[in-house]
Chains A and B, each alone.
Chain A
Amino acid sequence: NAGVTQTPKFRVLKTGQSMTLLCAQDMNHEYMYWYRQDPGMGLRLIHYSVGEGTTAKGEVPDGYNVSRLKKQNFLLGLESAAPSQTSVYFCASTEWSPSTDTQYFGPGTRLTVL
């Protein structure tokens, strides 16, 4: 049981390049999330999904797109990277119920945009 995994762990892009970050979970969770964390800051929600085929915007969605074609995977895309998107990206998943609401986080992807 690997939990939540993220690919890649590190990436350097040039301004204008595109890339996709992959998040995978093996806990059969319905809800998945993408956050970004800038130095010295808390996590900010980019996009989330409440089930296969669904996505929704979070607090800072501009410049990102997401897809949830399979329940276990949640992809985060940057179509045209900008230096302001330099950050650490975390994926999380949760199986919400009326008695519990716990997120499980991946190890993060450190992205640098030059």
Chain B
Amino acid sequence: LAKTTQPISMDSYEGQEVNITCSHNNIATNDYITWYQQFPSQGPRFIIQGYKTKVTNEVASLFIPADRKSSTLSLPRVSLSDTAVYYCLVGYSGGGADGLTFGKGTHLIIQP
């Protein structure tokens, strides 16, 4: 069961690029790397998912080095509304729930 390590909290300012790194040293061959965002009193929301190299969508980029032992979520030009908890999830639910473990996440606080 791949476990993840993320910073507990981060601060940044509006308009800055924010990078949150997640360590997952024992990631398995089949495991995906998925990031979720959670606002207070809401369920987590999918942000981005990747397997290797780089993935980009309209809200974020995900960088995964060749050894896949870590990954970095990049949020370009953050705003106050990006203040939330961000979870890195490493696993593979095909056939069950193996690896569906959410850590405590990273509490990102964006200031004006």
A90-B102 contact in complex given A96-B93, A101-B32, C-beta closer than 8 Å? no
**Pairwise interchain contact B44-A105, C-beta atoms closer than 8 A:** yes
User: What is the number of contacts between chain A and chain B, taking CB atoms within 8 Å?
Assistant: 65
B95 interface residue, CB < 8 Å from A? yes
**Pairwise interchain contact B45-A44, C-beta atoms closer than 8 A:** no
**Pairwise interchain contact B49-A102, C-beta atoms closer than 8 A:** yes
A19 to B94, CA, bound (A): 30
A10 to B91, CA, bound (A): 31
The number of residues on chain A lying at the interface, defined by a beta carbon within 8 Å of a beta carbon of chain B, is 30
**Pairwise interchain contact A101-B94, C-beta atoms closer than 8 A:** yes
B72 interface residue, CB < 8 Å from A? no
A27 interface residue, CB < 8 Å from B? no
**Pairwise interchain contact B97-A44, C-beta atoms closer than 8 A:** no
**Pairwise interchain contact B97-A45, C-beta atoms closer than 8 A:** yes
A92-B97 contact in complex given A42-B105, A100-B49, A101-B34, C-beta closer than 8 Å? no
Residue of B nearest to A108 (CB): B43
B104 interface residue, CB < 8 Å from A? yes
B46 interface residue, CB < 8 Å from A? yes
**Pairwise interchain contact A44-B32, C-beta atoms closer than 8 A:** no
Chain B nearest CB, measured from A102 CB (Å)? 5
Residue of A nearest to B105 (CB): A42
Chain A nearest CB, measured from B100 CB (Å)? 5
Q: Name A42's contact: one of B45, B87, B91, B96 (CB within 8 Å).
A: B87
A59 interface residue, CB < 8 Å from B? yes
B103 interface residue, CB < 8 Å from A? yes
Q: Name A44's contact: one of B95, B96, B102 (CB within 8 Å).
A: B102
**Pairwise interchain contact A101-B93, C-beta atoms closer than 8 A:** yes
**Pairwise interchain contact A101-B87, C-beta atoms closer than 8 A:** no
Q: Which 3 A-B pairs have CB atoms at the shortest separation, nearest pair first?
A: A105-B43, A42-B102, A43-B102
B residues touching A (Cβ–Cβ < 8 Å)? 32, 34, 36, 41-46, 49, 87, 91-97, 100-105
In the assembled complex, 13 residue pairs joining A and B whose CB atoms fall closer than 8 Å, in A order, are A45-B97, A45-B100, A50-B95, A56-B96, A58-B97, A58-B100, A59-B101, A94-B93, A101-B32, A101-B34, A105-B45, A107-B42, A108-B41
